[in-house]
Amino acid sequence: MNTNIPINMTTYIQNYKLHTVNNVPLKISFELHNIPLPLANSLRRSCSSRIPTVAFDDTWDDDIETRSIIINKNTSGLHNEFLSHRLGLLPLNMNHESLKISTEFNKSSSRRIYSFVNDYVPIFSLKKKNNIETKPYLDELGMLNVTTLDFTISNASFPITDFFIADPYIDNKEDGYIIIDKLKSNFNNEDDGEELDLICKPTIGIGWTNARYDPTGTVTFGFKTDESSVDDIFKKKMEYMNNERLNKNLEVYSEVEEKQLRTSFNLLDKERVFKRDQYGYPEIIEMSIETIGFMKPTQILLSGLHILKLLLSDIKNSIDIELVSNEVRLNNISKINYIRSSIYENGWTIRLFDEDHTLGNLIGKYSRTLFNKTEDDLMKYISYKMDHPLINNVDIILVPHLNRAKYSEWLSKNYFESGNNKTFNDLGINMNIINDMTDDIFYKFISTLVLLNTINNILIDINKLISESMELTKEIDPIFIINDNESYINKYGDL
């Protein structure tokens, strides 16, 4: 079943569809209009790798009390490590009250922390044995299926079906639960077949650290083909290829050959034909999000947007601008680090720790569009890089022009002429104080404002998408609770 939203009801999210199977929402698909490509790409990555979920952690620890999966007995054909891995990939229904998660940025550790809201986190037990008692449930091979339906909650009275969702494609619900293991019979003693006895404790994580926490089955991402231009593009390609043949004194392509080339074009090149905006980005981006059972696909979309918003807010709150004795100081916690460029005069690198291309590409491309592709070309060079694919540090490289007058004019026009910049007014910063800065501090200050301005512009677009997502999906909140207050989210929102 598909639920469609008329295309003209919204501005940014259009052609929205909810796909259900037996009334279970499994997938959403939609188009993004008037949204920059870097934001769409970061949303895709955020949905897959940044949303906090709950799963069983198969990491081994010598201390049995700290293990998420405790296997007391296992005589099945699967060894303990293989069985633990299977248990770690079971999706738990995040909509249950006992699995509610809250999040808050911890300045001491410079990390975003996730924790359970409630003290009564359920503990899952499973005891199953192939014996006389379970004989009626054996399959045709004499084996006993162990599924998620065989779990019990040892510390509460919740039904197990609250936490594990049956496969909606299977009509008989009892047959739709995930098979964990199969227990063989003992032909010498039918009361002493294979046995499982284990305990599982939920843990919080994100897909960025381990795939077990990824709530998505697929997150597709592509550019909408401009069907009206496909034929014209192919004709131009044929004209070019035929002219080449004529220049070589060869016959033009025959109808059969042209038909074969068209088939090849449709397979390999058709999707490259799409409308572009003024910056060369695609005008319409097609996306789809499919869930594997942690949460509804609509919740994945809204949660992915909120996580992006929080991650960007964490960067803003890692910077502290203050005025001491008429001198502007730029302080920072260990989430970020200022590095003076050894290549570019008065250039600065702002390093973001524990981040990857999700934010690096987003901030880098937004800042280039805002400050490096405009008519006044405010910045000489802007880029981002990761020094090593296995080290999650992102460098935002900012190189201003060596022209203080240019930046003084920009600061005066954008922050002081209106006279209502709250941040600078509250701090007591004025143009006289800025003009008295040394070159070192001045260009560091400019680079910081460029970063903050870029983040604020990204947040404007994210808020647009959040607003329309709530309207379309009927979801009010993300899957997690945000403990950071509004002042945290809005810090330096006017810079």
pLDDT tens-digit series, residues 74-105: 999 999 999 999 999 999 999 999 999 999 99
Shared-domain flag, residues 352 and 267: no
> Is 494 within the bounds of a domain?
no
Shared-domain flag, residues 371 and 265: no
> What is the residue range of 460's domain?
311-489
Residue 411 neighbours by CB distance under 10 Å? 21
Q: In this predicted structure, what is the pLDDT of residue 8?
A: 46
Q: In this predicted structure, what is the pLDDT of residue 255?
A: 92
> Is 39 within the bounds of a domain?
no
Q: Would the pLDDT of 352 be above 80? A: yes
pLDDT band at 376 (very low <50, low <70, confident <90, very high): low
Give percent above pLDDT 90 in the chain.
74
Domain count, the chain: 3
pLDDT tens-digit series, residues 467-477: 999 999 999 99
Whole-angstrom distance, CA of residue 466 vs CA of residue 460: 10
Rounded to two decimals, the pTM is: 0.91
Q: Would the pLDDT of 132 be above 70? A: yes
Residues constituting the chain = 495
The last residue of a domain, from among 183, 214, 245: 214
> Is 9 within the bounds of a domain?
no
Shared-domain flag, residues 334 and 254: no
Shared-domain flag, residues 238 and 132: no
β-pair partners for 30? 287
The predicted model gives 280-286 an average pLDDT of 89
HEC per residue, 65-132? HHCCEEEEEECCCCCHHHHHHHHHCCCCCCCCHHHCEEEEEECCCCEEEEEECCCCCCCEEEEEECCC
Shared-domain flag, residues 467 and 349: yes
Q: Would the pLDDT of 276 be above 50? A: yes
Q: In this predicted structure, what is the pLDDT of residue 489?
A: 92
pLDDT tens-digit series, residues 16-52: 999 999 989 999 999 999 899 999 999 999 999 999 9
| Of the candidate ranges 207-211, 278-282, 425-429, 485-489, the one whose mean pLDDT is the lowest | 278-282
Shared-domain flag, residues 409 and 260: no
Q: In this predicted structure, what is the pLDDT of residue 279?
A: 76
pLDDT tens-digit series, residues 53-82: 999 999 999 898 899 999 999 999 999 999
The rounded mean pLDDT for the chain is 91
CB 218, CB 290: distance < 8 Å? yes
Shared-domain flag, residues 348 and 208: no
Shared-domain flag, residues 336 and 484: yes
Shared-domain flag, residues 259 and 320: no
Whole-angstrom distance, CA of residue 363 vs CA of residue 456: 10
Q: Would the pLDDT of 358 be above 60? A: yes
Domain CATH for 410: 3.30.1360.10
Shared-domain flag, residues 192 and 109: yes
> Is 47 within the bounds of a domain?
no
The last residue of a domain, from among 166, 192, 214: 214
Q: Would the pLDDT of 355 be above 60? A: yes
Residue keyed to tokens 């401009």: 226
CB 83, CB 181: distance < 8 Å? yes
Spell out a b/e string for 263-287, using b for 16 or more CB atoms within 10 Å of the CB, else e: eebeeeebeebbeeeeeebbbbbbb
Q: In this predicted structure, what is the pLDDT of residue 5?
A: 39
Q: Would the pLDDT of 417 be above 90? A: no
| Token representation of residue 462 | 């994210």
> Is 1 within the bounds of a domain?
no
> Is 5 within the bounds of a domain?
no
The last residue of a domain, from among 214, 236, 260: 214
Give percent above pLDDT 70 in the chain.
97
Distance of alpha carbon 14 from the chain centroid: 20
Shared-domain flag, residues 210 and 231: no
Shared-domain flag, residues 315 and 451: yes
Whole-angstrom distance, CA of residue 350 vs CA of residue 493: 19
> Is 22 within the bounds of a domain?
no
pLDDT tens-digit series, residues 290-337: 999 999 999 999 999 999 999 999 999 999 999 998 899 998 888 999
